[in-house]
Structure 1
Amino acid sequence: MENAIKQTNRTMLTEVINPEKLDLLTLVGDVRGMESLSDDKIKEINDHLLVRSFDELLEKFEPVVYCFFNANNQKVMYQLNKPENIPEEMLSEIPLNRQNEFMGMLMSMIDTKRSEGTINVDFKFDKLTDMISPKKVMDAIRQNRKELQYTYGEYAKLDEEDPKKKDLADKLNVMFEEASANYNNVMAMLPLAIEDTKTRLLLGDGREEKDNTPLALGVLSMGEQGELRVLEAPKVETTSLVTVDDQVNTGLIAALKEDYQALNEESNGYVEALVARTFCPLTSTMESRVDKETEVANYNSYLEFYKESKDAFIKTVKPLIENLLGIWCFFEQYPKKLKGMRPSLLITNVSNELLAKSSNISRLITYLNTVNAKNDFSNTVWYSIMPNVSLDQYSKMKLTRERFKGNSKAEKNNTNSVESLIRILDVFKDYAVQCFFSYEADDSTTFNALATEGIEKYETRCASLIGKPFSEFAIPCLPNFTIIPKDKSGVILDRRMVINDDVVELSKEKEDIMKLWIDGVYVGAAYVAAGIVAAYQCPEYIKDKFGKAKIDMELPGVRFDIEADDHNLVACTTLAKEITGFTNSIKTDINRKNFGFVFSSENAVYKGNNITNIMVYKARNLMTDGSMYEPIYKTQVTTYIERVMRHGTGDFKEDSIVSFFSNNPNSQKSKWLSKRECINAILGKGDDIEYIIDEENGYCTLNITFNGNIKNLEVEINRLSNKA
């Protein structure tokens, strides 16, 4: 019977990734007069919205930011929604994928921090934030051009008819396509122009320790008195044939210029030469004379524009980037090497506010009625993720005047209201979907904030969600994860150039340092909480973590209690610790009621090894008996038993129910009890299950006893039977 349920970790995310792609509301369509959707419609929804990895998300949704220029204010503009009144030819799309420098920087930061096991106060964030500076962009291109030159050199050596030449031509086509992404876009050319100008004017990377004296090649000699001197070498005219390498480079330069001209209707000589210098530098192309004033003015103009555009870009994309990082963290909790019950994510691609509207909620209900209220469980949604729930901050004292420039609270338009959360939870309870939600991710909801302020503000904000029929399906997750702290998110792009005594140099003045602030990057705790719970549903994951423990490879991890024993030390998150830990008083406060799905950044040791990753401290929902909140596994065990029972008893036939719970060794209850020694048993040690059939009223009550803080828990298993 239980083998009918192959997955217990399908998760729904109510966020917009790309508004130009299809969404759940559009795909479900008008549902008036409909109880459920067709199998073909469910397949279509899965084809568009279901992903099983982060890379599949990037492939299906193609997250992008739109870029255009405003001639009136001479600025570059960015939007996540495609502007409707701007012609296609005036609009550029910037993909937000692994190759995007901002996205790549943040993912590298998470990986590096995890490898080092360093807490935030000790981690050198500035070593990675400069990945978006022009110098680092150029460093990446230098590696690309080395590969381009090598491949073109191998290509040029071969005869035209050589089959290997065609193979290399295919590689070159790909390389040129990647290179053209830079020189076919003025914005992408800016960091190249900045570094190119520095190279030609400063002949180095422009750091203070470099000598900025103009270069004249020379030879070492001794003077009449024996003194050492470096004399400028005379320029020798030569008519000798160019070397093979020069022939190769000449051919490559010609190919690059031709490609640039083909891709740009309004090409110009400066950019054409810049492309050649960038992707195929030759000593012979070095200029002996440059117009210093013009070049310095251009450099400073480029740098200023680059700073302003980067600043605007980051402010625009940061909310979407944080969601993308959250999805990445969700999938990262399940090891890539495992091939078992891999977590899957159904992305609605519509905001929770829109989904919760009375005119739209019926479409969500019809969808869930199709996938969650049938005896086919392949598409059943077990969890949902709702990040960025609004958290009211303490109001600032009203000032008669602002003497000093303080924090201006940015108006956030991507937060989910508690009211919309309640409306969605009211639907989720009918279909047993456990909702992991977290509050808006900023510096007020981090580990640092929790360590100093405690959990009172979270409990207060959850007051309207407690004592409701949906409370057991509401799981508040805290604190949020810090990728870059607000106070360590400065990025030095470069310094302005100046001309002193006819020598070009980088300014040493503080005000000439071009710096932008990312203002912190954070990931909602709901992503990580749902990710680790979805991961440990897989018996292969449990086996990978608890190798020597007794594990049943046929059973999911619905009864796995991450709070029990040393489970949280073994099944850690993949994210590095952020702080040294919570004080004893804060932990006492958390333990007082066992509130929420709480992560901890504690010093811990397991089998002689230091734990350097963040662990789960509590895993509770908002159902309470007045003194304690309920562990989340109890809700899923109840749901799992109900679904197995509904399938195995032919929708709760009385004689089948009796057989289901009989003492026969082949009954489902007997099979579960025989596996109670397993770490992923459905009924663990001290657990039991009994049933009472009320024939007069026509329903059955299950009494499931859990060996935990709450015993003799009565669960109505007919809560969905009237919908089945």
Structure 2
Amino acid sequence: MIMEPMDIVKQTGKTIIFEEFNKEKDNLVTILTRDIEEISLEKFKDELMGKQADGSNSDLVVESFEEFIEKFSPVIYEKVVRTEEGALKFIYELEKPKDGATEIKLKDHAFYKMVMSLIDRKATTDKGNMEFPYDSLKKALTPEAEMEECKRIRKNLESNIKQYNKLLNKENSSSEKNRYAQNIQACRKKIVSKYRNKSPLALLPLLIADKQKQIDAISSVVETNNDEKQQNFNLCECSLDDSGNIVFIEQSISSGEESRNNTAEDFTPLIGTLKKDFRKKAPLAIRENEYVSNLITDVFVPNGSANLSIQNRDELEEQKKQYQNIYKESLQSFARAVSRIVEKFAGVKTFFDHATYDGKLARNVSVIIANCKINDILNNEQALSRFKKYFKNLAFEKDINRIWFGIIPGIEYGRKNDFMASNVEEVNPYDDFELDEQEQAQNKVNLEAVDLEAAKQMLGLLNELKIMTFINYKGSKNTGFVELTEKKVNEYKNNMESIDSEYAVFAYPNFTILPEEKNEAIIGREYEKAVSIQLPGIYLEASYVAAGIIVGIQNYKLLKDKGYKVNPKYPCVRFDIEDGDNAKRITTKLNRETTTEMEKETKEAIMEDRFGFVFADNRIIYQGQAINNSYVLNARTLKKDKNGKYKNIYKILVRNLVDQILRTSSDYVTDKSVKNFISEYADEWKRDNKDEDRRYANRILKEEESIELDSEKHKLVVKFNKEEEVWDEIIINDEEGEM
């Protein structure tokens, strides 16, 4: 019985991503070099992408973005230092410092959550980048959800302590008393989690809000009472409303009457308990920090300023300003320090957004996270040697271990000369100088970017290994949609000309998550004036989107969901995203970034030789509806056909499929095995076109297409869309056993 194509190839979407995400986790170089002696191919395959004893994936393999986050989300280390001038400075690092620091999980931080929310929102918006309502999502930086949760804890504490105190001296109440005691302990555990699992600075927005409540209460008294009455209304009692917000009740006190606040008395034991919890359970680096300890108790036991007089207002304003400045400085420093790693995670998220259907990859498809840059492989002689050996064997795999695609994001685009200035002045070359934070951040990006020459070297190797690899220039405003011109397209062509590889795909332009022009986020107010922070621009690498789309259309379920007729026994390697209306039906999940059309000259520069994997964001109407997402204009490799145009991606994928089928029973191909293949497979594929009901979107040959044997030359001759080509890459031997 003849095997179906999908029974032979198993999958056509396994992908490897060459990027570093978490220095503290294993990476591909470690797996390649940790053994003194070379291990067998089988053992290497098992360590790289086999299943563990419990059935889970190996350390570098993921099948969803959630699994990727679970395995590779880094810890950010926070240190607070005091400068020589006495100011506080917040430092955030990805590598654990020797002198200790607060640990923050990236996935839990408001800045990270904001960026991921922006990506999701941009999938459905009809707004361009300049019209998109960023402010609503920037509110996550204040962060309201965190504040509301703290308020709930605070309100529950107050309620349970009051109930517990009522039962203290009552008989036969131990059961009820235990109930409230357990509730209080549960609240304490939640409080500990706030500073144990993230920076205590995350609590500052709530403290700032509380100070503002106190200021507002005092201001209200001043405004509603004349000078004579103010002295009768100069005290406020602190309490909590049903939502956990601080409220202040004005107390009219007669001359000689003593003020007594029962709330403070009730909460006195709790203050000591929370401070004790902090000394025992806070991260070691901050356990002795009295300021942070007081901050915790101020947030969750808000009675320290239970009695307030109008004379407190200036002091409260100063405290609020201090807290706000601390929060602003820390948030701004964090965003600046981690923006690059957040961009990386945004890229992987977007890959999975496009590569999955109903949250899942196609059957047998998974993603290998190298967790290292290509330089780490190229500059390590042992790693490079073993990489070539092991992955060359994987190129001829006939089962689920075959790697079809790769991603190398973030190739450096140009070099900024930080010392060029428009207004020339005399400079002493031996004078001392300091880099400002923006320059330091720029230099850091340059160090992290992939050198183009290194990328070319790696692409040459991956060409031999038959891994179709998507690359792109580093995401920035200079490599996005707005800056895409005829001149830039021609510049890209010149830079990529020497690659000349059918397994290399250059994707452009890059996408924008948060443009530099919209990078201001308001986090509060000070004396009616907005307090804001400047966020870095956040960009999305086009290679993740391009690879995600191609991997996604390898899944027949995704095509079926888009309304195509499909046959599950066929892989989807022949599906051409450029053909007909395909690009209008399978768009990106990212918004149109500009409101103008692509310039005629730019499009002509692309289409004259069909250069690159190109995204467009022109406004188009399909089936009576406007398409609000960017879409694929062009999907080509960096190898030219004999007609002078760059080769379609699907041509290489179909050839790899045929090569695997031909090698089903042997490691080499003969005239006889080719003839059997044509009669058993190719002729069947052609027959699909004669029956209207069998014209599947994933059929491998279309009308007037064919795969034939030139017996005289021992070559496979293929016709795609009336264009004929010879598959020299598949070597055919005229006799069994001849090599």
2:45 paired with 1:36: no
1:295-348 deviation digits (Å, cap 9, x = unpaired):
444443443343333333222211111000000000111455265616532111
TM, length-normalised to structure 1: 0.81
Equivalent in 483, 489, 495 of residue 519 of structure 2: 489
CA spacing shift, 1:147–1:633, aligned 2, 3 Å: farther
Paired residues for 1:370-385 under 5 Å: 370-375=393-398, 377-385=399-407
CA spacing shift, 1:566–1:420, aligned 2, 3 Å: same
CA spacing shift, 1:167–1:282, aligned 2, 3 Å: closer
1:85-104 deviation digits (Å, cap 9, x = unpaired):
x23xx22222111x310111
Paired residues for 1:126-165 under 5 Å: 126-132=135-141, 136-137=142-143, 140-146=146-152, 149=155, 160=175
Aligned twin of 1:585: 601
Matched residues in 2 for 1:669 and 1:166: separation?
A: 75
Moved more, 157-166 or 123-132: 157-166
1:677-697 deviation digits (Å, cap 9, x = unpaired):
2110122222210124579xx
Are the counterparts in 2 of residues 689 and 703 from structure 1 also a CA contact under 8 Å? yes
CA spacing shift, 1:374–1:674, aligned 2, 3 Å: same
Aligned twin of 2:682: 669
2:442 paired with 1:410: yes
Equivalent in 65, 68, 77 of residue 79 of structure 2: 68
2:124 paired with 1:119: no
Aligned twin of 1:58: 69
Are the counterparts in 1 of residues 188 and 274 from structure 2 also a CA contact under 8 Å? no
Unaligned runs of 5+ in 2: 165-172, 230-248, 426-435, 690-694
1:27-64 deviation digits (Å, cap 9, x = unpaired):
12258666735154232795111111111111112322
Aligned twin of 2:655: 638
Query: 1:455 is paired with a residue of what secondary structure?
Result: helix
CA spacing shift, 1:452–1:595, aligned 2, 3 Å: closer
1:160-194 deviation digits (Å, cap 9, x = unpaired):
48999899789757634543348x74433444443
Equivalent in 193, 200, 215 of residue 201 of structure 1: 215
CA spacing shift, 1:314–1:242, aligned 2, 3 Å: closer
Matched residues in 2 for 1:439 and 1:476: separation?
A: 9
Are the counterparts in 1 of residues 357 and 558 from structure 2 also a CA contact under 8 Å? no
Matched residues in 2 for 1:191 and 1:162: separation?
A: 34
Letter aligned with residue 687 of structure 2 = S
2:109 paired with 1:100: yes
Paired residues for 1:434-449 under 5 Å: 434-449=468-483
1:174-221 deviation digits (Å, cap 9, x = unpaired):
634543348x744334444433333333449xxxxxx67658899xx9
Are the counterparts in 2 of residues 702 and 714 from structure 1 also a CA contact under 8 Å? yes
Matched residues in 1 for 2:121 and 2:546: separation?
A: 21
Paired residues for 1:559-570 under 5 Å: 559-570=574-585
Structure 1 residue 715 displacement after superposition = 3.9
Taking only the aligned residue pairs, the percentage that are identical comes to 26
Equivalent in 649, 665, 686 of residue 704 of structure 2: 686
Are the counterparts in 2 of residues 217 and 232 from structure 1 also a CA contact under 8 Å? no
Matched residues in 2 for 1:295 and 1:151: separation?
A: 25
Query: 2:482 is paired with a residue of what secondary structure?
Result: helix
Matched residues in 2 for 1:51 and 1:620: separation?
A: 27
Matched residues in 1 for 2:569 and 2:183: separation?
A: 49
CA spacing shift, 1:32–1:151, aligned 2, 3 Å: same
CA spacing shift, 1:66–1:251, aligned 2, 3 Å: same
Structure 1 residue 719 displacement after superposition = 9.8
Matched residues in 1 for 2:524 and 2:577: separation?
A: 48
Equivalent in 456, 460, 475 of residue 426 of structure 1: 460
Are the counterparts in 2 of residues 702 and 716 from structure 1 also a CA contact under 8 Å? no
Query: 1:416 is paired with a residue of what secondary structure?
Result: coil
Are the counterparts in 1 of residues 705 and 721 from structure 2 also a CA contact under 8 Å? yes
Aligned twin of 1:365: 388
Aligned twin of 1:705: 719
Cα-Cα RMSD? 4.0
Are the counterparts in 2 of residues 539 and 554 from structure 1 also a CA contact under 8 Å? no
Structure 1 residue 142 displacement after superposition = 1.9
Matched residues in 2 for 1:202 and 1:154: separation?
A: 28
CA spacing shift, 1:515–1:592, aligned 2, 3 Å: same
Structure 1 residue 70 displacement after superposition = 3.3
Matched residues in 2 for 1:397 and 1:166: separation?
A: 64
Matched residues in 2 for 1:290 and 1:427: separation?
A: 74
Are the counterparts in 1 of residues 92 and 337 from structure 2 also a CA contact under 8 Å? yes
Structure 1 residue 711 displacement after superposition = 2.6
Paired residues for 1:507-586 under 5 Å: 508=529, 514-546=531-563, 549-580=564-595, 581-586=597-602
Letter aligned with residue 429 of structure 1 = N
Equivalent in 4, 26, 31 of residue 27 of structure 1: 31
Query: 1:65 is paired with a residue of what secondary structure?
Result: strand
Matched residues in 2 for 1:283 and 1:167: separation?
A: 25
CA spacing shift, 1:234–1:213, aligned 2, 3 Å: closer
Letter aligned with residue 8 of structure 1 = T
Structure 1 residue 275 displacement after superposition = 2.9
Are the counterparts in 2 of residues 638 and 715 from structure 1 also a CA contact under 8 Å? no
Are the counterparts in 1 of residues 63 and 360 from structure 2 also a CA contact under 8 Å? no
Unaligned runs of 5+ in 1: 205-210, 222-230, 497-505
Aligned twin of 2:14: 10
Matched residues in 2 for 1:717 and 1:615: separation?
A: 34
Aligned twin of 2:611: 595
Aligned twin of 2:372: 350
